[in-house]
Amino acid sequence: MADVLMQERALPEVSHTDMANAIRVLAMDAVQKADSGHPGMPMGMADVATVLFTRFLKFDAEHPEWPDRDRFVLSAGHGSMLVYALMYLTGYPGMDIEQLKHFRQLDHCTPGHPENFVTRGVETTAGPLGQGLGNAVGMALAERLLNHRYGDGIVDHHTYVIAGDGCLMEGISHEAISLAGHLKLGRLIVLFDDNQISIDGPTSLSVSDDQLERFRASGWHVARVDGHDPEAVALAIENARNVSDRPSMIACRTVIGYGAPTKAGTAATHGSPLGAEEISGARERLGWRHEPFEIPQQLLSRWREAGVRGRRAYDAWNQAAKGLDAEGRAGLGDPIDASVAASIKDAIAALKADFSRDGAKLATRQSSQKVLEALLPVVPGLLGGSADLTGSNGTLTKQHVMVAPPDYAGNYVYYGVREHGMAAAMNGLALHGGFVPYGGTFLVFSDYCRPAIRLSALMGRRVIYVMTHDSIGLGEDGPTHQPVEHLASLRAMPNVNVFRPADSVECAECWELSLLTPSTPAILALSRQGLPLLRKEPSAANLSAKGAYVLAEPEGGRDVTLLATGSEVMLAVEAAKALAVEGIRAAVISMPCWELFEAQDKAYRDGVLGSAPRIAIEAGVEFGWSRWLGPDGVFIGMHRFGASAPAPELYKKFGITADAVVAAARELTGKR
């Protein structure tokens, strides 16, 4: 190995190996300086990455937001130094050598794992293994859908992924691979870092899959190459690019920590600094005579040339894009520009008036479907779907067309029973630009989406989770399907708006808020069972926008305040009426979104909550309610898992009734 490296170094011209070695030394030196990190993977995949970035990847380092760039996803995010080294070498804005010297340090753009919201040019946040692969499926799907809408002149790019053994061991990889194969995503190319090592040691300790057969079985084109043979890697990528009807996976056999004299090929290089002695030995083996963080000018120039390789394509694209109108341009980025936002508001206002006039009792999942009927014509970027619960979730409308590869004319994805894959793909769709993805499943299965929901939140992406069957109110399916802790657990996650509308009008308002909040994902927790219309007075204002509001205020001051969300607001209304007969003055507060309420100023919150004793009603667990109830409040809800029975019986059995609220109010106010 060293002989070959030395021989190439002797050539006057900058060789492939010199270029790859630049990545290797930057990775090992940065990890050493940080005293933490993962040098092995970048050192092992340096050859593959060099081939990709110098010969294939369509990008212009100076313009990381170019909509028609190839997407590069490092799913094996622990190898983040690979991306940072590539970005520095090719000349991405802001990625100077100081950033590499401050790898993993506060206020620098080189965090431990790649974060798209920290580092300009990083496509996605990757760290939880397999998520990047799942995102890439969404990105590659977005490309095909936009290609259909815009044509090759505007949208024509590939999505490349580097995934490791860990990514492929994760369950999500199955869903992602299966979905990509089904969707025939021919522009998706996965470079598998087949180094046969993970943290615990050789992968033979824990996995015996034939990965090539596995991908092949899901309809992929597959190949195996020596990941240190640049020509073989190049040929494999070339071949993969020529396969248009299937995604491709290239298993690149590599040596983890390539170049390290004693640790190469072992788990010791995976996640720890190599140490001064090993690094000096690696320098020797690689024939690298330069100081840490010093890249010789000639070599840096060659890399910078790679960074501008795409300039002509970039210029040509800009020329072609001049033909696009404002709507066309918006359709490649955030599809909700000011004019679409205005149309959304108009459509929602009209629909709310209809709902109020009509007065129908509807499950909020049905209201949501009606909202979608109204929204689809005004938001061309809305991309619907469900994880095999289309009819139950109400996610499909008459205006939807199924995405049916190789025809990408559609706007509805049958994600199949792949909740996790759906959620990760939706992140990719949202990251790519051009789409506002929404996808349905039962609220209880938000657990199956949770790692991806967390990344929607962390990355600040507008992904809308349509989660129906939101409580024991789903009835006979029983406790496995009845979420009780889910609202609380989702509310615990930062930067997620958990909406639980009480009726059709609130449902429309919550959809509007979900769409008009670009940096926060939304969970729409919707009922299976019919709910009466509570907002009978038409109001143009979006009352849900403040998260909670006074739905009914008694005359002459409050004796008690009833707080409720979703299907339990009607119980609060009923109880308030019964209490009024007894002379107990109860206010009803609807709280469709705690997060938005929390964001209001104290005066507003205090005004809504009032100073009277409080009762909260929600068919979920109490966890979290204490912040609104105060020390003396009473919670009426679930204290255990549910049961299988018709919904009205369950509400009775678990004591979530207007009568129970009335009794609690009498007790609390001392008025019996």
Q: Write out the catalytic residue numbers.
A: 419
Separation CA 124–CA 456 (nearest Å): 10
Select from 135-143, 158-166, 392-400, 489-497 the region that touches ligand TPP (CB under 6 A): 158-166
Q: Is the dihedral of CA 287, 290, 292, 298 positive or negative?
A: negative
Is residue 381 at the binding interface for ligand TPP, with CB under 6 A as the rule? no
For residue 485, what are the CA distances in angstroms to 217, 600, 648, 664?
38, 25, 20, 23
Is residue 164 at the binding interface for ligand TPP, with CB under 6 A as the rule? yes
Query: In this complex, which beta carbon is closest to ligand TPP, that of residue 129 or of residue 571?
Result: 129
In DSSP terms, 524 is beta-bridged to: 466, 499
> Which DSSP category does 12 fall into?
S
- Burial environment of residue 205 by CB neighbours within 10 A (0 to 12, 13 to 18, 19 or more): exposed
Separation CA 493–CA 497 (nearest Å): 9
Query: In this complex, which beta carbon is closest to ligand TPP, that of residue 91 or of residue 127?
Result: 127
Min dist CB 251 to ligand TPP, Å, is 13
Select from 126-134, 213-221, 540-548, 555-563 the region that touches ligand TPP (CB under 6 A): 126-134
For residues 430 and 461, is the Cβ–Cβ distance under 8 A? yes
Is residue 50 at the binding interface for ligand TPP, with CB under 6 A as the rule? no
Is residue 527 at the binding interface for ligand TPP, with CB under 6 A as the rule? no
Separation CA 399–CA 514 (nearest Å): 21
Looking at 198, 366, 367, 529, which residue binds ligand TPP (CB under 6 A)?
A: 198
Query: In this complex, which beta carbon is closest to ligand TPP, that of residue 114 or of residue 181?
Result: 114
Looking at 64, 111, 121, 127, which residue binds ligand TPP (CB under 6 A)?
A: 127
Select from 71-79, 402-410, 467-475, 500-508 the region that touches ligand TPP (CB under 6 A): 71-79
Is residue 199 at the binding interface for ligand TPP, with CB under 6 A as the rule? yes
Q: How many CB atoms lie within 10 A of CB 242?
A: 10
Query: In this complex, which beta carbon is closest to ligand TPP, that of residue 123 or of residue 170?
Result: 170
Separation CA 106–CA 108 (nearest Å): 6
Separation CA 212–CA 218 (nearest Å): 10
Strands 188-194 and 71-74: unpaired
Looking at 129, 534, 621, 665, which residue binds ligand TPP (CB under 6 A)?
A: 129
Is residue 40 at the binding interface for ligand TPP, with CB under 6 A as the rule? yes
Helix axes 16-34, 276-286, angle to 10 degrees: 170
Q: Which of 191, 256, 287, 303 is nearest to 27 (CA)?
A: 256
Helical H runs in 323-401?
A: 326-330, 338-358, 364-375, 390-393
Q: Is the dihedral of CA 112, 118, 123, 128 positive or negative?
A: positive
Is residue 351 at the binding interface for ligand TPP, with CB under 6 A as the rule? no
Is residue 270 at the binding interface for ligand TPP, with CB under 6 A as the rule? yes
Count of residues of this chain found to bind ligand TPP when the rule CB under 6 A is applied: 21
Select from 100-108, 148-156, 166-174, 416-424 the region that touches ligand TPP (CB under 6 A): 166-174
Query: In this complex, which beta carbon is closest to ligand TPP, that of residue 423 or of residue 661?
Result: 423
The token pair that represents 116 in the structure block: 């798209």
For residue 426, what are the CA distances in angstroms to 65, 73, 125, 452?
19, 15, 14, 9
Looking at 193, 509, 512, 568, which residue binds ligand TPP (CB under 6 A)?
A: 193
Looking at 19, 26, 76, 661, which residue binds ligand TPP (CB under 6 A)?
A: 76
Q: Which of 394, 417, 395, 413 is nearest to 405 (CA)?
A: 413
Min dist CB 8 to ligand TPP, Å, is 25
Q: Which of 470, 478, 479 is nearest to 529 (CA)?
A: 470
- Site residues for ligand TPP, 223-262, by CB under 6 A, read 256
Which amino acid would we find at residue 636? I
Query: In this complex, which beta carbon is closest to ligand TPP, that of residue 208 or of residue 480?
Result: 208
Query: What is the three-class DSSP state of 90?
Result: helix
Query: In this complex, which beta carbon is closest to ligand TPP, that of residue 267 or of residue 579?
Result: 267
One DSSP character per residue, 609-620 reads: H-SS-EEEEEEE
Helical H runs in 151-195?
A: 165-169, 171-182
For residues 398 and 388, is the Cβ–Cβ distance under 8 A? no
Q: Which of 420, 455, 454 is nearest to 126 (CA)?
A: 455
The token pair that represents 74 in the structure block: 């490092």
The token pair that represents 13 in the structure block: 């011209």
Looking at 116, 195, 218, 567, which residue binds ligand TPP (CB under 6 A)?
A: 195
Select from 72-80, 207-215, 406-414, 461-469 the region that touches ligand TPP (CB under 6 A): 72-80
Select from 115-123, 191-199, 412-420, 432-440 the region that touches ligand TPP (CB under 6 A): 191-199
Is residue 424 at the binding interface for ligand TPP, with CB under 6 A as the rule? no
Is residue 41 at the binding interface for ligand TPP, with CB under 6 A as the rule? yes
Separation CA 389–CA 395 (nearest Å): 8
Min dist CB 422 to ligand TPP, Å, is 18
Min dist CB 83 to ligand TPP, Å, is 14
Looking at 197, 330, 505, 591, which residue binds ligand TPP (CB under 6 A)?
A: 197
Separation CA 197–CA 269 (nearest Å): 10
> Which DSSP category does 15 fall into?
P
Cα R_g (the chain), whole angstroms: 28
Looking at 121, 128, 335, 385, which residue binds ligand TPP (CB under 6 A)?
A: 128
How is the chain split among helix, strand and coil, in percent rounded to 5?
45, 15, 40
Is residue 475 at the binding interface for ligand TPP, with CB under 6 A as the rule? no
Select from 161-169, 371-379, 599-607, 654-662 the region that touches ligand TPP (CB under 6 A): 161-169
Query: In this complex, which beta carbon is closest to ligand TPP, that of residue 113 or of residue 432?
Result: 113
Min dist CB 235 to ligand TPP, Å, is 23
Query: In this complex, which beta carbon is closest to ligand TPP, that of residue 266 or of residue 600?
Result: 266
Residue nearest to ligand TPP (CB): 164
Select from 52-60, 74-82, 103-111, 623-631 the region that touches ligand TPP (CB under 6 A): 74-82
Separation CA 30–CA 119 (nearest Å): 17
Min dist CB 324 to ligand TPP, Å, is 40
Select from 101-109, 148-156, 159-167, 474-482 the region that touches ligand TPP (CB under 6 A): 159-167
Separation CA 114–CA 80 (nearest Å): 6
Min dist CB 35 to ligand TPP, Å, is 18
Query: In this complex, which beta carbon is closest to ligand TPP, that of residue 37 or of residue 434?
Result: 37
Query: In this complex, which beta carbon is closest to ligand TPP, that of residue 257 or of residue 473?
Result: 257
First to last CA, the chain: 88
Total residues belonging to the chain: 672
Residue keyed to tokens 């409308």: 397
For ligand TPP, the binding residues (CB under 6 A) are: 38, 40-41, 76, 78-79, 127-129, 164-167, 170, 193, 195, 197-199, 256, 270
